[in-house]
Amino acid sequence: MQLSLSNLSPLELIFVDICDSKESVQKDAVNRLHSYVLSKVTSPLISKDWEEKVAKCILDLIKSREIGQQRGAILAIGIMIEIFKEDPLENTRNLFRFYNHLTSVLRDARDHGLILSASQLVGRLTEISANSLGDRFVEEQIPNFIEMSSSDGAPALGAVLVLKEFARHSPSSFSPHLSPTFRSVSGFLRSLQAEVRHAAADIIGYILTSMGPRDFESYRVTITGLFVRIQQGLESNSPPILHGSLLALQELFLCAEKEMLQSEFVTMCEAVLRFRSHADAPIRAVVISMLPILARYDTQIFLDHFFNVSASFLVQRLESVDGPAGLYFKAFLDHVKLTSVQRILQLDKCLLPLRKISYRM
């Protein structure tokens, strides 16, 4: 949108500013666009003013090759979605238009920030527009993004992030697509990109929480298949595969029915703790985050077999690492304190040789 500033209309100036690299200028332009749309683009004038002015500016920016202009278009679409959500049925056509704009960005963009922003807006559209886009809209779109996720590079990242948003806002829509979805998720968990692995684990959690044991056979097959893949992944020497497998295991212990994994609990605790000193920091971080989850899952077995080694490990991490380790350690202790005061005394024994960390029981 190469224009002389002196010849621009107020709306065109807003769109110039919304593409500015300065966040303060962008924020001001966002507020001005919001006010403009509310004051100018209202029924019965919405068709003429919207089509000839606002929608055209957004389309020009979306089609641009410049990242700044595409980012401006996404900001503008975000504003429009929030305005049109008040009457999504009335604005179905425009919501579909936004969806198509966003998916074009996801297919073609190479900028990580653009891809993330576009996928989040697709999730927002899914959240607010279920009725206006159709009851089966998400269900019908899932195969397209599963196929897109098999491509290389940025389109695959965008597809995985959109599938995560679909799973978050409409997990039941995955019911007809469980097999291809979890086949794809197995690949995502092995991705070299940490963000893809985290998104894959989120997809698992959202879908399992939605499924529950209502269709027990389908549920059992899904859990069993995932667990087998996780076990295979934990035998790998590849840090990304180990990391993805641990993330998936964490979601199983959080979201699956307890009886589905009870017989494997001891084996999996041993497997998780085996990686507590791994050279890869993300792997160690997952181990830390899993300990309170395992302690809650089967507290007595955890206390009897894994408490001492877990407490010793967490204390060592607290001595050497600032940040979230302390929060996980507190969650771990809070749960155990509620369960067994006697066992907490064992923690004190673990701390005695260290003398470097003080904490309040």
From 225, 256, 287, the end of a domain falls on: 256
- What one-letter code names the amino acid at 106? L
Picking from 236, 173, 150, 160, the residue whose alpha carbon sits closest to that of residue 201 is 160
Query: Which domain range does residue 276 map to?
Result: 271-361
Q: Specify the number of domains making up the chain.
A: 3
From 212, 228, 256, the end of a domain falls on: 256
- For the chain, what is the largest distance between any 2 Cα atoms, rounded to a whole number of angstroms? 78
From 256, 281, 298, the end of a domain falls on: 256
| 232 and 332 both lie in a single domain | no
CB within 8 Å of 64: residues ≥ 6 apart = 1, 70, 73
Q: What is the separation of C-alpha 290 from the centre of its chain, rounded to a whole number of angstroms? A: 18
How many Å is the Cα radius of gyration of the chain?
25
What whole-number distance in Å separates Cα of residue 282 and Cα of residue 239? 9
pLDDT in tens, the chain (361 residues): 445 566 778 888 888 899 888 888 988 998 898 888 887 765 544 556 676 788 888 899 999 888 999 999 999 999 988 888 777 666 788 888 899 999 999 988 889 999 999 999 999 998 887 667 777 889 999 999 999 988 777 788 899 999 999 999 999 899 889 889 988 988 999 999 999 999 999 999 999 888 876 677 888 888 899 999 999 999 999 999 999 999 999 999 998 888 889 999 999 999 999 999 999 999 999 998 898 899 889 988 998 899 889 888 877 776 665 556 556 666 665 665 555 444 534 544 554 444 343 333 3
Q: What are the CB-based long-range contacts (under 8 Å, 24+) for 138-146?
A: 138/166, 138/169, 138/170, 138/173, 139/170, 139/173, 139/174, 139/176, 139/177, 141/166, 142/166, 142/173, 142/174, 142/177, 142/181, 143/177, 143/180, 146/177, 146/180, 146/181, 146/184
Q: What is the pTM of this model?
A: 0.81
| 5 and 67 both lie in a single domain | yes
